[in-house]
Amino acid sequence: MRCWSCGRLRGPRPRCEWNSGIGTWWARMTSWVEFTPQTLQQKPPNGWFRLLPFPRAEDSGGNLGALRLKVRLTEDRVLPSQYYQPLMELLLESVQGPAEEDTTSPLALLEELASGDCRQDLATKLVKLFLGRGLAGPFLDYLTRREVARTNDPNTLFRSNSLASKSMEQFMKLVGMRYLHEVLRPVISRVFEEKKYMELDPCKMDLNRSRRISFKGTPTEEQVRETSLGLLTGYLGSIVDAIVSSTGRCPLALRLAFKQLQRCVEKRFPGIEHQDVKYLAISGFLFLRFFAPAILTPKLFDLRDQHADPQTSRSLLLLAKAVQSIGNLGQQLGQGKEQWLAPLHPFLLQSISRVRDFLDQLVDVDKDEEAGGPACVLVQPSTIVREGFLLKRKEEPGGLATRFAFKKRYFRLSGRDLSYSKTPEWQVHTSIPLSCIRAVEHVDEGAFQLPHVMQVVTQDGAGSSHTTYLQCKNVNDLNQWLSALRKASAPNPGKLAACHPGAFRSGRWTCCLQAERSAAGCSRTHSAITLGDWSDPLDPDAEAQAVYRQLLLGRDQLRLKLLEDSSLDTEVDPGRDSRASDGPCAEVLAQQRAATTHLLQVLEDLEQAHEEFQKRG
């Protein structure tokens, strides 16, 4: 979101920017809220604010409604990498030791401190941090062993939103999203395109709607139920077939993580009475936290560009409920209030045995390779990250740029380059290597009198800069292209610190009115501002900074624990031989005290480093 002061000021207007966590530029184009620079400097706003319609001539007299959005402005300073090395070493050592008895390592403390609000974000940071070091497997195993050790009822295993559950969930999204797309996209696309009416709940049946779609005359509830059952089993059959035949496409890192999870669960819950627990532990993640949510809300998993209409949403809900029942291995069939799902039970029971066989094949991995090792790449170079039609215009040395200079081209963004051609089937295409990109920025609407325009600034081998202007179809498309291009070019060296948000027309820049084409940029670039999703690039320094901030919240708790351990060490029991204190218990206390002291020192050193950088200015 971008907010600015509307006071009558000469020169550039003061601006404040932040990411709302949903979309960085959405509010900029549709609505606004006003803050004075003094307010932002003295005390960052935190609360509920009303967004007003963006004042535009074409919107005069219109009514866009009202929206109240709670936002929080946060600012953090990320230090150079060397300052986080001691903390990184402690985190990496944590996963190498015994998990069940660990009470003083940073991971044990984070698990205790993480609340429901920040647990998912913390899990994402930790998974990325360990993924970048090739230790995602040991990290997940550490959390899994702790979770399993304190679980007495196997029916509640991994059912809460613990740090272990959230970490595995985020790991699946990071390494398995392409796999998810390959499995579910064909069926989800069919549901959206065919728009068939499906309903099994008598309380929700709309006989008039079903009449328009499938029947002649007025249908009965039984006819609607039978037709809906046939459609649902058809879609579900395609989903189950795609899942159970996808073993070879599932990422090796994910299969190895599931294999280690199954071993841990089998060791904790042996015996014939717990024979399904090893399956439920994996299906609880893969089906209940991955496949079913993706079917229910395809847009959140990049399976569709737009949310579903009400009728399609209801169809997706029915499919998600069925997949969830299959993931539960039919344990809750016939229970609860949704007895109207009973017609689906025969199909679901037939699918469960196939799912068990699929899970056995999934963990049948013999390769000696660490899950989430350094070879794990989130986006392969040949993978198409985003594609679609855009309007393109290259920067020209002279002449007046008009809206007719934009030409329609089909663009594809891969892990290697940004290419475009006249049509998707066109064989001849032009490519822009991602390594040449130096900035990806939004362009002011006044530059070409066109909305939703962005610019891609590149540098060739001779050091010359070139700008390509691209117009998107709407603001959502613009946000997604900006984010995708920035993530794809994130590792590039030589990024521009500033650029022009306008265009050079009639001998001057439309943004700052400078007359030199080569004049320095008047607005800073925003390479780090992206839409948060599974494809975010790894940033170990930012991730370590987030972990440090979370650990600071537990520093007082660590100090109190250190005092308690010291008092236990100095107490003498009159009825016990003093030599008893030299046993293993005293050694464990000494190790815990040393670990706590070390962690506190690391946090103090980082805090001092932040203070020094803040003084520098």
Same domain, 201 and 291: yes
508-509 and 31-32 beta bridge pairing: unpaired
CA distance 425 to 435: 26
Average pLDDT over residues 533-558: 82
Q: Which of 29-33, 115-119, 223-227, 571-575 has the lowest mean pLDDT?
A: 571-575
Average pLDDT over residues 566-593: 59
Res 428 pLDDT > 60: yes
Average pLDDT over residues 56-70: 57
CA distance 144 to 158: 9
- On whether the CB atoms of residues 421 and 428 are closer than 8 A, the answer is yes
- Domain containing 59 equals 2-72
Question: Which amino acid appears at position 140 of this protein?
Answer: L
For residues 338 and 502, the model is more confident at: 502
DSSP 24: S
Same domain, 293 and 220: yes
CA distance 413 to 489: 11
User: Residue 369 domain-assigned?
Assistant: no
Res 207 pLDDT > 80: no
Number of domains in the chain: 4
pLDDT band at residue 381 using 50, 70 and 90 as cut-offs:
low
The predicted pLDDT at position 114 comes to 73
The predicted pLDDT at position 507 comes to 87
The predicted pLDDT at position 326 comes to 94
Same domain, 278 and 315: yes
User: Residue 148 domain-assigned?
Assistant: no
Same domain, 330 and 289: yes
CA distance 540 to 171: 16
pLDDT band at residue 265 using 50, 70 and 90 as cut-offs:
very high
**Highest-confidence segment of 59-68, 133-142, 235-244, 250-259:** 235-244
pLDDT band at residue 28 using 50, 70 and 90 as cut-offs:
very low
User: Residue 150 domain-assigned?
Assistant: no
CA distance 478 to 453: 7
Q: For the chain, percent helix, then strand, then coil, each to nearest 5?
A: 50, 15, 35
Residue that finishes a domain, picked among 362, 392, 408? 362
Question: Which amino acid appears at position 88 of this protein?
Answer: M
Q: List, in sequence order, the alpha helices (H) in 328-425.
A: 345-362
For the segment 548-570, what is each residue's pLDDT rounded down to a tens digit? 988 888 888 878 877 776 666 55
Q: Which long-range contacts (CB under 8 A, 24 or more apart) does 507-516 make?
A: 510/444, 510/446, 510/447, 511/444, 511/447, 512/12
User: Residue 461 domain-assigned?
Assistant: yes
- On whether the CB atoms of residues 323 and 291 are closer than 8 A, the answer is yes
Mean pLDDT of the chain: 80
Residue that finishes a domain, picked among 490, 524, 558? 524
User: Residue 152 domain-assigned?
Assistant: no
Q: CATH number for the domain including 344? A: 1.10.506.10
For the segment 463-512, what is each residue's pLDDT rounded down to a tens digit? 888 999 999 998 888 988 998 898 888 888 889 999 999 998 888 999 99
User: Residue 155 domain-assigned?
Assistant: no
Res 576 pLDDT > 70: no
Quick one: which H or E segment has residue 49?
strand 46-53
Instruction: Give the side-chain half-sphere CA count within 13 A for 109.
Output: 26
User: Residue 181 domain-assigned?
Assistant: yes
User: Residue 144 domain-assigned?
Assistant: no
Quick one: which H or E segment has residue 418?
strand 417-421
3-state DSSP call for residue 95? coil
Same domain, 338 and 315: yes
Res 441 pLDDT > 90: yes
DSSP 288: I
Q: Which of 59-68, 85-94, 431-440 has the lowest mean pLDDT?
A: 59-68
Res 65 pLDDT > 90: no
Per-residue tokens: 252? 């090796």
For residues 558 and 200, the model is more confident at: 200
Same domain, 16 and 38: yes
Quick one: which H or E segment has residue 613?
helix 584-616
Per-residue tokens: 80? 């150079």
For the segment 131-179, what is each residue's pLDDT rounded down to a tens digit? 888 888 899 999 999 899 888 888 888 888 889 999 999 999 988 988 9
Same domain, 196 and 342: yes
Per-residue tokens: 546? 């987030």
Res 606 pLDDT > 60: yes
Quick one: which H or E segment has residue 318?
helix 310-327
Same domain, 493 and 574: no
Integer distance in angstroms from the first to the last C-alpha of the chain? Answer: 26
For residues 61 and 280, the model is more confident at: 280
The predicted pLDDT at position 333 comes to 77
Same domain, 434 and 512: yes
Among 565, 566, 592, residue whose Cα is nearest residue 103: 592
pLDDT band at residue 53 using 50, 70 and 90 as cut-offs:
low
Kindly state the percentage of the chain with pLDDT values over 90.
Answer: 37
For residues 29 and 181, the model is more confident at: 181
The predicted pLDDT at position 360 comes to 95
Same domain, 176 and 301: yes
Average pLDDT over residues 108-125: 80
What is the pTM for the complete model shown? 0.72
Identify the residue whose tokens are 């250190």.
562
**Cβ atoms within 10 A of the Cβ of 497, count?**
10
pLDDT band at residue 353 using 50, 70 and 90 as cut-offs:
very high
Res 366 pLDDT > 70: yes
Q: What is the CA radius of gyration of the chain?
A: 28
The predicted pLDDT at position 371 comes to 42
Among 98, 266, 84, 254, residue whose Cα is nearest residue 180: 254
3-state DSSP call for residue 475? helix
The predicted pLDDT at position 569 comes to 57
Q: CATH number for the domain including 450? A: 2.30.29.30
Same domain, 276 and 212: yes
The predicted pLDDT at position 189 comes to 94
Same domain, 11 and 66: yes
CA distance 224 to 217: 12
